[in-house]
Chains A and B, each alone.
Chain A
Amino acid sequence: MNQSNAARPVFTARGLTKTYHMGEVEVQALRGVDLELHAGELIVLLGPSGSGKSTLLNILGGLDVPTGGRVWYLDHELSGADESELTRFRREHVGFVFQFYNLIPSLTARENVAAVTEIASAPMTPEAALELVGLGSRLDHFPAQLSGGEQQRVAIARAVAKNPAVLLCDEPTGALDSTTGVRVLEVLEQVNRELGTLTVLITHNAGIAAMADRVIRLSDGTIAEIRANADKTPARELSW
């Protein structure tokens, strides 16, 4: 953990529960989660399908609200916030990276990033963001002209360009082959290191856990284990 670690956690969760009603079936996705995530950390959320890791990420990212318990971003309580407050929270503080990139096909790499920087308060330039992910030479390419790995790096540039406090990545390498996946992880690692952005990364690929500061293993809606990595493995040395 680096020096910028502030006293106040970026995220604080207390007794989080989430219940989905799927027709007549009730699904308990989270069954009481307590958690603190700090600035500059690189967190890997590990767990099998249905363990609740996506639900947790969605609640932290302001895409969903808990059924019970409370969650804070710094001193703002997210539990109980309304739709427009959550939108503003996502807009100002959260960067998202999706499994399937979700780029806007009608916009170039530069414009995909600009779409977000145009509505952010203190963003870096799209060019700088793309430079950061190693795509400084492909600014004016449309998504259809980029490979999967390149598309994901544009997505990362888009997520970090607004200088968010947190970067939430849901299976960012899930659709990529291992070589390309490692390249994407390297970029995430670099962003985390250079910008000090709290980075939360969901995966069910245990091999990736080695690059994290802390690994949080979820199982059946509860935290089964929180493990701090004494010595992190650089992403470039990972393989699966």
Chain B
Amino acid sequence: MKALNRKLLRDLWHLRGQVLAIVAVIMGGVATLVMSLSTYDSLVETRERFYAEYRFAEVFAYLERAPEPVAERLRAIPGVERLETRVVAGARLEVAGFDDPITGRILSLPDVGEAGLNRLHMKRGRRVAPYSSDEVVLSDTFAEAHGLGPGDRIAAIISGKRRSLQVVGVAVSPEYIYQIAPGAMFPDFKRYGVLWMGRTALAAAHDMDGAFNNLTLSLARDAREQAVIDRLDQQLARYGGTGAYGRADQFSNRFLSEELKQLQTTATIFPAIFLGVAAFMLNVVISRLIALQREQVAILKAFGYSHLAIGWHFVKLVLVVVVLGVAAGSALGAWFGQGLASVYQETTFRFPYLHYRLELSVVLIALGVSALAAVSGSLVSVARAARLAPATGMQAEMPAVYRATLLERLGLQRWFGAPTRMILRHIERRPLKSLLTVFGIACAGGLMMVGNYQKDAIDFMVDVQFRQAAREDLAVTFIDPTSGRALHELQALPGVEYVEGFRDVPVVLRHRNHEYRASVYGIEPAGRLHRSLDRSLAPVRVPPEGVVLTDHLASNILHIQPGELLTLEVLEGRRQVLQVPVLGITRQFLGVSAYMQREALNRLLHEGNVVSGAYLAIEPGREAAVYAALHARPRVLSMVANVSAIQSFYATIGEFVLFYNLVATLLAGSIGFGVVYNSARIALSERGRELASLRVLGFTRGEIAYILLGELALLALAAIPVGMLVGVGLIGILVQAFENDLYRLPLILTSANYALGATLIAASTLISALFIWRRLGRLDLVAVLKTRE
């Protein structure tokens, strides 16, 4: 080994504390990048494969009823590759030993053979036997939630008739990777289930013999999706079609896409922030570290080494550190990524399998960014050192030039003793360096806040949604719109405290060239249970004529102002096209909707006192009785209980948030510690001689620690408010980035979160200070007398 390389290894060993701290910084940045991007890549890849393998359809349509021969005409539409008709039925399900209401959705399977589209991935058991009358396959989430499997029986109320069904298999479908009950806000695997049944059996139960009410199709290679949808809508109009839609509007796929988009944003923004901060700190730390090697540079020059050779020597030193950091970060990131991907798979993306994929390019990006930051930082310092003639470089550096600080020039100096002046002057002499250090520490604190923000946001959204807006205990939906008299029956049920009817109608909302599929909810104008909230989240009265829109829907999707006219294209019944003024804006974080007074909506639709369902308040403790009474009513299609929805939401999301917070905390912590420790450690190297001199003169360890750690504490103290600002800024970026029609993140800044950011900074500083304190005890006092700088 060449002598210079040997020196390299020795230097690395000698600097091991700082090397480790820098590795920690790089590791934090790289791990976030690798974790996020590899998770994203894996999920996208898995989804594509699963969709392709299981022939996920491309266009979907619901209708009231069409005779089977109609399908032949539809298949003739240009661009249709394969079209399959189905019967789909809403149902209520009963599982022995579970009293809460369960909403079910039953889809037909061909009586013989496998479906051509939306094929099932069988996880357990077998497919439905040909022409069987009572066999069903369950979706895996529902089966798992209830511990059901082949051999078990469940009951379903289809079209008001109760049937006993035999479970023969458990499956995953590309159509229902993300499952959520109609009207629900969150997935609830226990209270919502998708089932598959033989076509003949389901048609018989749902009164669809020789007919279909749902179709899915795949497109020919060059087909234009919109053209096919338009033709389909034309032909299905007379069969009660509610409008065909593509994958982009297919619920499960749309949600997965939004989640993936969010993940992609996370995978871009977070690592950019983390790696950016890490790279920046790396640059600062390395340049200061190399600046301390001034004398060595001079000696090497005196030996006759060229600038290039010397530069390369230090670049190698830095690259070793970078490679260590990137390797550790990649390993950690891959490990976290697999964990994150499987948490996703358990909670959101219910793919039957997962292809974990770590692209080499991701690691190369990490390596490139880190190396660039580090090498540029080191070259600046090496170049500065190399510019000196060897003799000058080896001589004592002239005492650094200081001056009285601004504070002192303002006449405050009599308040400061010599040690305090040393601190202030040292900070003020290199203001940029001090600022960079403050900013670096602040970034770690800001990152910590971002990591913790998610939980606060979810808590807040749940609170607004369920304690301010949708305050009902139970939402009941009827099979068909029903006379308002049904509300009196519900009100009369024992245990029901209060009932509010609602009417919801599927519509296309149009304004100029903007359109959006949604439901208009007719609610009570000053409802006690279901309320519309204004911008400050106070309940507002829905105006008598006209419609109130969710803020996001009005300003970002339809681009409409209060006072302007909105076109409603009703997708059921007589399919009217109506003009309604927008009279208000309501704030909502989950989903988007349009609200009207129920009476006004009834009037617009030329119907009498009609409701689609009802919101119920139930006396505490009487839930089971109310559920049982509702189960007995054939007209009840589904029931969604809020409390259980929230609980199941937290049960599933909790794990994810916990995991995410843990990772963010670890990474922000490692960056924070790396930055603070390095700043302190370098300050010690720069000022070790000064401090040792003071020790010789009789200063105690505490007194010199005050000078060094006092500066660190002052910088850290300054970093706390800056860190809070950084955190607020980063959270603001997130809020902007995650605005979509499924949800908007509220800009929530809890004092606990501020405290967490501050705590991270304080804790990193304290731990670093302890390390430095130990080192101050080992200062070589004797050497100071003999050596010059």
Q: How far is the CB of B427 from chain A (nearest CB, A)?
A: 10
The contact of A144 among B400, B404, B421, by CB within 8 Å, is B400
Q: Contact: B422 with A92, CB < 8 Å? A: no
- Nearest neighbor of A164 in chain B, beta-carbon distance: B698
Q: How far is the CA of A159 from the CA of B787 in the complex (A)?
A: 19
Interface check B419, CB cutoff 8 A: yes
Task: Report if B122 contacts A (CB, 8 A).
Answer: no
Alpha-carbon distance between A196 and B698 when the two chains are bound, in angstroms: 21
Q: Please tell me if A200 contacts chain B, counting CB pairs below 8 Å.
A: no
Contacts of B786 in A (CB 8 A): 54, 99, 170
CB neighbours (8 Å) of B701 from chain A are 87
Tell me whether B418 and A118 are in contact (CB under 8 A): yes
Report if B429 contacts A (CB, 8 A): yes
Q: Is the CB of A99 within 8 A of B418?
A: no
Q: How far, in angstroms, from A112 to B689 measured CA to CA in the complex?
A: 15
Interface residues of A in 88-115 (CB under 8 A from B): 88, 90-92, 94, 96, 98-100, 102-108, 111-112, 114-115
Q: Is the CB of A158 within 8 A of B418?
A: no
- Report whether B782 and A58 are in contact in the complex, using a CB–CB cutoff of 8 Å: yes
User: Across the interface, which residues of A come within 8 angstroms of B698, CB to CB?
Assistant: 87-88, 90-92, 94, 116, 119
For the complex, what is the distance from the CA of A118 to the CA of B419, rounded to whole Å? 10
0/1 interface trace, chain B 399-428, chain A, CB 8 Å (1 if under): 111111000000000000111011001100
Query: Among residues 689 to 745 in chain B, which have CB atoms less than 8 Å away from a CB atom of chain A?
Result: 689-690, 693-701, 703
Answer whether residue B398 sits at the interface, using C-beta atoms and an 8 A cutoff. Answer: yes
A96–B697 CB distance below 8 A: yes
Min Cβ gap A219→B in Å is: 20
* B419, B689, B782 pick with most chain A CB within 10 angstroms: B782
Question: A104–B788 contact, CB under 8 A?
Answer: no
* A84 vs B702: C-alpha distance when bound (angstroms): 11
Query: Cβ of A175: which chain B residues have Cβ within 8 Å of it?
Result: 788
| A122 CB–B CB distance under 8 Å | no
Using Cβ atoms and an 8 Å threshold, which residues of chain A touch B782? Answer: 54, 58, 63-64
B697 touches A111 (CB 8 A): no
A91 in contact with B785 given A102-B689, A114-B418 (CB within 8 Å): no
The reply to whether B396 and A144 contact each other, CB–CB distance below 8 Å, is no
Which chain B residues in 357-413 approach chain A with CB under 8 Å? 396, 398-404
B95 at the interface (CB under 8 A from A): no
Query: What is the bound-complex CA distance between A36 and B733, given in angstroms?
Result: 75
Complex Cα spacing A103 to B695, Å: 13
User: Does any Cβ of A come within 8 Å of B781's Cβ?
Assistant: yes
| A142 interface residue (CB < 8 Å to B) | yes
Q: Does B625 contact A (CB under 8 A)?
A: no
Q: Is A143 an interface residue (CB 8 A)?
A: yes
CB pair B418 A98 closer than 8 Å: no
Size bracket of the B interface: 35 or more
Closest to B788 in A: A100
Instruction: Report B14 CB to chain A, min CB distance, Å.
Output: 16
A23 to chain B, nearest CB (A): 15
A142 in contact with B422 (CB, 8 Å): no
Given contacts A106-B402, A116-B697, contact A100 B703 (CB under 8 A): no
- Per-position contact with A for B767-789: 1 when CB-CB < 8 Å, else 0? 00000000000000110111111
CB distance from A84 to the nearest CB of B (A): 7
Chain A residue with the shortest CB-CB distance to B405: A106
CB distance from B416 to the nearest CB of A (A): 10
CB distance from A221 to the nearest CB of B (A): 16
Please give, as numbers and ranges, the residues of chain B lying within 8 Å of A98 by CB-CB distance. 693, 696, 784-785
Known: A119-B698, A119-B703. A106 touches B784 (CB 8 A): no
Measured between beta carbons, the chain B residues less than 8 angstroms from A90 are 696-698
Give CA–CA (A54, B694) in the complex, Å: 19
Least CB distance, A152 to chain B, in whole angstroms: 13
List, in ascending order, chain B residues with CB within 8 A of A112's CB. Answer: 418
Enumerate chain A residues within 8 angstroms of B697, measured Cβ to Cβ: 90-91, 96, 115-116, 158-159
Q: Are A142 and B700 in contact (CB under 8 A)?
A: no
Q: In the complex, what residue of chain A is closest to B693 when comparing beta carbons?
A: A102
Supposing A63-B781, A142-B399, A143-B399 touch, asked if A100 and B787 sit within 8 A by C-beta, the answer is yes
Kindly list chain A residues whose C-beta atoms are within 8 Å of the C-beta of B699: 87, 91, 119
CB distance from A38 to the nearest CB of B (A): 23
Q: Which 10 A-B pairs have the closest CB atoms?
A: A91-B698, A115-B418, A102-B693, A143-B399, A105-B399, A106-B425, A90-B698, A100-B788, A106-B402, A144-B401
Question: Which positions in B face A, CB cutoff 8 Å?
Answer: 396, 398-404, 417-419, 421-422, 425-426, 429, 689-690, 693-701, 703, 781-782, 784-789
Q: List 13 A-B contacts (CB under 8 A).
A: A87-B701, A91-B698, A91-B699, A96-B785, A105-B401, A105-B402, A106-B421, A112-B418, A114-B417, A115-B694, A142-B399, A142-B402, A170-B786
Binding site for B on A (CB under 8 A): 54, 58, 61, 63-64, 84, 87-88, 90-92, 94, 96, 98-100, 102-108, 111-112, 114-116, 118-119, 142-144, 151, 158-159, 170, 175
